[in-house]
Amino acid sequence: MVIMYLPIKKSIPLTLFCFVLLLSGCKDDDFNKFDKSADERIAEAKANLKSSLVDPAHGWKLLYTPQEGYGSFLVLLDFQDDNKVTIKTDLGADDGKFYEQTVGYRIDSSLGLELIMENYSFFAYLFEFDRATFGAEFEFNYVRKNENGSLLFSSKSDASNPTQLLFEEATENDLNALGLQVAQKLTTMTADLHKITTSLQMTYTNKDLIFYMSLQESYRVLTISSASRKSNTANTQQLNFTTGYYLKNDSIVFDTPLAGTFVGIATSLKGVQVKGLENTELNLCADPIPLHAYRGVTSAGDNVLLETSVADASGATFTDYDFFSAPPANVAYLGESAYEQVTADINTPTHIQLYYNYSLGDGSVLNAIGFRIQNPDGTITFALWEFVPILEDNNLKFNFAPEISQFGDAQTSAANLAAVQTYIEHLTDGGTTYVFRYSDGVYEFSNPCTGWSTLLISSQ
């Protein structure tokens, strides 16, 4: 018997059929992606990001807030094909250096795409500000392109909760939105008295009200420390209002509005439009000190005068504390730390100190100002010049004892005592020392006639 095997037609497996369908639905580009090397894909991604940065006719705008709780800077960025970017900002530091700069930029890749400002710029200045504690950055991780065309970046160096930066396409109107004029005005005012901190007062034209405030320009933080009646500045109210702010056109815009009743006057404040200049002068010293003042209009429509001032209705609250201390770096001349000069003249000072109605063990009180000195042999001397205080508003006058007293383990050198006396006289000469409240328990003691000041911190 011959057995014949007939061929049997097999069916195509379902998995193979699906794969065939999948292949038929794929585009050539999908396969090309896998045909490219990793370097080629990175190069393409970098080129795409660069194209996105360069494309907008008017560049990009960014409201940059380096750290939560602080204010913001309006930044305009115009990227070019030649790896240059023109950065325009409203930061008036360094004599307006950062109003406009053209620097190099680079798009790089490590764990993802990065945008890096290669030269010293506005971003690097903020990165270094306050010994690199501000949280600013000049290297940014690219996150994504949003549906509306905006680009999202994040700070590269933030270990957690990185700062988000939203680049939005700028319009022609945005090119005129930089608050350069108001930035210049504020910078001019803050330099009037050459203090560590600024001291401004805002006087209402049609209300019996004055606000006393300070600005930290590089932090974009505004503090209103107190208020008083215009008709009677002894009628005061202590405030603890702090807000971030940003500049827009000719206005200061608050992140947090102020509203309430202050020394009996109902007031709201979301910002101030700063207008015309009025030159004034301070007649405390042998030579008058030129000051600047600006007329303005608040967000509530109230006319005000914003001016540099030595008045601070909260300055006298330093008397709530009996002991202040700070490192020598907190002694300043014309608003800049005089640490090197102080430590060259006084051998190994560790602190400048102020005792105010400080209770001693025998029931007496001590009013004295001076330095804590660590002598070469390791002993400690407190070189303190005792005084009888005369306090009028925030003006503190010193009626000194004939000589500086020494307390502690040992006597310091005669040269040290002479230098201590010199720096105390810098701070107190002429009876023109004014006290300004910087924050809770922190006060600036400033003499506008000599240019010397110190920022002291209470021990409580």
DSSP for 264-285, please give it: TEEEEEEEEEEEEEEEEEE-SS
User: What 3-state class would DSSP assign to 299?
Assistant: coil
- Domain shared by 337 and 427, yes or no: yes
Question: Residue 211: what residue type?
Answer: F
For residue 3, what pLDDT is reported?
34
CA nearest neighbour of 183 among 75, 274, 307, 305: 274
pTM reported for the whole predicted model: 0.83
Asked if residue 374 and residue 295 are part of one domain, the reply reads no
Are residues 243 and 254 in contact, defined by beta-carbon separation less than 8 angstroms? yes
> Tokens 């001349």 label which residue?
333
Examine residue 322 and state whether it is found in any structural domain, yes or no: yes
Query: Which residues lie closer than 8 Å to 55 by C-beta, 6 or more apart?
Result: none
One DSSP character per residue, 128-148 reads HHHHHTS---SEEEEEEE-TT
Q: What's the confidence (pLDDT) of residue 136?
A: 86
- Domain shared by 123 and 195, yes or no: no
| 200, 300: one domain | yes
297 and 346 together in one domain: no
Other Cβ atoms less than 10 A from the Cβ of 108: the count is 12
Q: Are 133 and 264 within one domain?
A: no
**Boundary residue ending a domain (263, 280, 313):** 313
Residues 195 and 144 grouped into a single domain? no
Element (H, E) at 233: none
Grouped pLDDT means (10 residues each) for the chain, 460 residues: 34 38 44 67 93 96 90 96 96 89 94 93 90 84 95 86 92 86 88 91 97 90 95 93 93 96 97 91 94 95 96 95 97 96 97 97 94 95 98 97 96 96 98 94 96 94
Residue bearing tokens 């204010």: 71
Q: Do 274 and 158 share a domain, yes or no?
A: no
Indicate the residue among 158, 177, 196 that finishes a domain: 177
Verify that 321 and 448 share a domain, yes or no: yes
The answer to whether residues 369 and 353 touch, using CB atoms and an 8 Å cutoff, is yes
**What is the span of the domain harbouring residue 274?**
181-313
How many domains does one find in the chain?
A: 3
Distance CA 118, CA 102 (A): 11
Torsion angle of the four alpha carbons 73, 79, 82, 87, in this order, in degrees rounded to the nearest 10: -20
CB count in 10 Å sphere of residue 414: 8
CATH assignment of the domain containing 161: 2.40.128
Are the CB atoms for 444 and 325 separated by under 8 Å?
no
Domain identity same for 378 and 404: yes
Asked which of 313, 335, 365 is the last residue of a domain, the reply is 313
Residue 7 lies in a domain: no
In a domain, 30, yes or no: no
DSSP conformation letters of 378-409 = S-EEEEEEEEEEEEETTEEEEEE-SS-EEEES
Whether residue 42 is contained in a domain is answered as no
